[in-house]
Amino acid sequence: MRIDIITIFPEMFEGPFSHSIIKRAQEKGLAEIHLHQLRDFTNDKHRKVDDYAFSGGAGMVMMIEPVARAIEHLQEQRHYDEVIYTSPDGELLDQPMANRLSTLENIIILCGHYKGIDERIREHLITREISIGNYVLSGGELAAAVITDAVVRLIPGVLGNEVSALTDSFQNNLVSPPVYTRPRDFRGWKVPDILLSGNEKRIEEWKFEQSVERTKKRRPGLLKNEEQ
């Protein structure tokens, strides 16, 4: 899978993309992530990509020309399945959406800034708008990093243990059961006996019951297939 990110702060991705699973996915050639500086696509001598909003009001607006040029430059080279804009009012990112995105070949993610982007970009150049939650961030970079992480770890072969992505929370509409590791007893806080019993069938049943109980308590909407 190839992900092209258009941003005015490519440096913001250095941390999240050069460690752990995302790093490994790129090294294994399973994910290609390319960062594009939006300012490289402007003819303005000051490399300006924002301007005042028509009709006034607080905040600058990201201009259409550089964004159109950046997107079209990429589209001339290959077909993109989705051109995504990170937006607080977009579709909320959830596990089924991450699963679907992980099956795509090429996607573009545009990170907004300032007061947002010229509405005509959304109308004519963007195919999907994604929000990572009902709160406002200063820019789309953190959202793009979250989307990329959630998607890339699902690409087959990225996680060492294939099963582990499928047993994470939200797969099968359930949250994960609790997990424990050594020591068995820490200050008298004990690991549940069942997990030490060696009875695999009963352990699986226990984990499933725990998942259902936790989902009822913490994310009841998942059991009814509702948005959280």
- Judged by the rule CB under 6 A, the positions of this chain that interact with ligand SAH are 86-89, 111-113, 115-117, 131-133, 135-137, 139-140, 143
Residue 63 structure tokens: 């201009």
Closer residue to ligand SAH, CB minimum distance, 35 or 174: 35
Residue 81 structure tokens: 């399945």
Return the residue matching tokens 């051109």: 83
Closer residue to ligand SAH, CB minimum distance, 60 or 212: 60
Q: Which residue is nearest to ligand SAH (CB)?
A: 112
Closer residue to ligand SAH, CB minimum distance, 57 or 160: 57
- Minimum CB separation from ligand SAH for residue 67, in Å? 11
Return the residue matching tokens 């399973």: 30
Closer residue to ligand SAH, CB minimum distance, 135 or 189: 135
- Minimum CB separation from ligand SAH for residue 64, in Å? 14
Distance CA 149, CA 185 (A): 34
- Minimum CB separation from ligand SAH for residue 131, in Å? 4
What is the DSSP-derived secondary structure letter of residue 195?
G
Q: Phi then psi for 223, rounded to 5 degrees?
A: -70, -25
Q: Phi then psi for 88, rounded to 5 degrees?
A: -60, -25
- Minimum CB separation from ligand SAH for residue 80, in Å? 18
